[in-house]
Amino acid sequence: MTASLASQGRWQIHVLFAIQLVSMGAMEMSGPFWPVHLKSLSSSDWLFGFAGIAVYVGPMLGIMLTSSFWGRLGDRTGHKLMMIRALAGLAVTQMALAYSNDVWMILVLRFLQGACAGYIAPAQAYGVSIEDPSRRARLFAYLQVSTNLGSMVGAILGGVILDIATFFWINFTASILCALSAVAVWIILPDVQPTTASSASAKPSSQRQPGVWRQPPVLGLLVVMGALLVSRLIPQTPFSLYVSGIFNVDNWIVGLCYGLQAFGFVVSASLWAKYFEGRTLQSVLGRMALVAGVCILLMVIAGLTRSANVFIGIYFLWGILLGATTPVLMSQISNAAGNLRQGHILGIAQSTIQFSSIAGIALGGWFSQAVGLEYTYFLVAAVYAVALAGALAVRFRNGASANSALNEPATESSH
């Protein structure tokens, strides 16, 4: 890649960052406040309890079921078109949600929102198509930082709107922002032709095989990433109850602790990406196992401590470590799949992320009720141990496969 092309790619990636920040921030404006809105619309406590979970799980389920399909379509038609489609889907469903006052219709629309949208995967695939392969880890970290910043800013802006207006204006504003983002993608970002089998440079024969996600080491990396995400999402449901109940602190402390985790991720993700850049898969998996080991230690301390200050510090450190997980693993999955089917594999990765998020939220909610709120972080530590074992297993298997591949020519020549 020449210097001029690299400079052009940098500019386009900054545009991707801004569009993702605005669109994801728009979606998060309503995120913290759906229970408030649904409470006013629900006719019974049962309906409110069900809707309070389904309104968050519905979009995740929709993305999980359709990301692979949209990814394959993007591989054939181009990922810019898929970004426009996703943002248009978000704009339409947000406008419909603004005018919907029926709980069941809201839940259907939230599911359709996930199924019709799924913006992150095509944005990542588009970024891969214009970024230098050696900087892929930084790309995923950069876009993940954009999502996190959008979530933080969007939640604050949504609260401001709700203080001075009604919930209608949150969804209406989000719809307009998503529509403007779609227009920005259409006008500003150039078309990038889909990669074909004849133009792919890396192992085209293996890339034509069906089931790219089942090929080693892709499947193992997906499992490790899923286990790490389940660990992170376990405290999601009982978090506010845990912090307020165990430490007896005000709600702003609860919010501060929650926000510090995201802040830790934002300040560390790009640094971690630079640190992992250029390392072999064996090296990445070994260091990922070490990160999981440190997370186990932090979660044990979080479960034992009764000091709010210690707990807050742990959450910030945890956020810093999280910056070394999903973006780095996404780049390794992307690299392992090659250039031909990026939309497909990144769609599958997004489905894995959504499935793991649902599993983590459900497991955390069930565990806190069935076993006890005070044991939540010991469960998180246990699942991190599973992720650590998975990283070491994939590392061992990948090393064995590499050795077998190296020895194969010598074996053949001896006959």
- pLDDT for 237 equals 75
- pLDDT for 199 equals 46
Of 127, 162, 190, which residue constitutes the final position of a domain?
Answer: 190
Residue scoring higher pLDDT (179 or 345): 179
- pLDDT for 30 equals 85
* Same domain for 180 and 269: no
Closest CA to 171 of 118, 236, 120, 106: 106
CATH number, domain of 32, equals 1.20.1250.20
* Same domain for 224 and 173: no
Q: How far is CA 66 from CA 73, 212, 257, 351, in A?
A: 11, 17, 34, 8
408 belongs to a structural domain: no
Tokens read off for 97: 């949600």
- pLDDT for 207 equals 43
Q: Tokens 């050696």 correspond to what residue? A: 134
- pLDDT for 402 equals 54
* Same domain for 396 and 336: yes
98 belongs to a structural domain: yes
* Same domain for 19 and 147: yes
* Same domain for 185 and 222: no
* Same domain for 224 and 133: no
204 belongs to a structural domain: no
CA 337 to chain centre: 18
Closest CA to 182 of 127, 132, 119, 237: 119
Residue 5 predicted with pLDDT over 60 = no
Phi, psi of 131 (to 5 degrees): -100, 150
Of 190, 223, 249, which residue constitutes the final position of a domain?
Answer: 190
Buried b (16+ CB within 10 A) or exposed e, 93-122: bbbbbbebeebeebbbbbbbbbbbbbbbbb
- Point out the least confidently predicted range of 50-64, 212-226, 385-399: 212-226
Judge whether 315 and 257 are in contact, CB under 8 Å.
Answer: yes
CA angle 198, 199, 203 (to 5 degrees): 80
* Same domain for 163 and 134: yes
96 belongs to a structural domain: yes
Residue 43 predicted with pLDDT over 80 = yes
CA 75 – CA 79 distance, rounded (Å): 7
Tokens read off for 103: 């709980």
- pLDDT for 340 equals 60
150 belongs to a structural domain: yes
* Same domain for 184 and 239: no
Q: What is the tens place of the pLDDT at every residue in 93-152?
A: 999 999 999 999 999 999 999 888 778 888 888 888 888 777 877 888 888 888 888 877
Residue 310 predicted with pLDDT over 50 = yes
Average pLDDT, the chain: 83
Expressed in angstroms, the distance from the first to the final Cα of the chain is 43
* Same domain for 290 and 238: yes
Of 190, 219, 237, which residue constitutes the final position of a domain?
Answer: 190
- pLDDT for 187 equals 93
Q: How far is CA 219 from CA 223, 263, 266, 320, in A?
A: 6, 30, 27, 26
Q: Domain tally for the chain?
A: 2
Q: What is the tens place of the pLDDT at every residue in 149-204?
A: 887 788 788 888 888 888 899 999 999 999 999 999 999 988 887 665 444 444 44
398 belongs to a structural domain: yes
Number of Cβ within 10 Å of residue 304's Cβ equals 11
Q: Which of 66-70, 125-129, 177-181, 205-209 has the highest mean pLDDT?
A: 177-181
Q: Which domain holds residue 337?
A: 210-402
- Point out the least confidently predicted range of 242-246, 344-348, 349-353: 344-348
- pLDDT for 205 equals 42
195 belongs to a structural domain: no
- pLDDT for 210 equals 47
- pLDDT for 4 equals 43
Q: What is the tens place of the pLDDT at every residue in 256-306?
A: 787 788 888 888 988 998 899 888 889 999 999 999 999 999 999 999 999
- pLDDT for 9 equals 55
Residue 398 predicted with pLDDT over 90 = no
347 belongs to a structural domain: yes
Closest CA to 349 of 225, 231, 227, 230: 225
* Same domain for 390 and 273: yes
Residue scoring higher pLDDT (413 or 340): 340
* Same domain for 214 and 182: no
* Same domain for 274 and 148: no
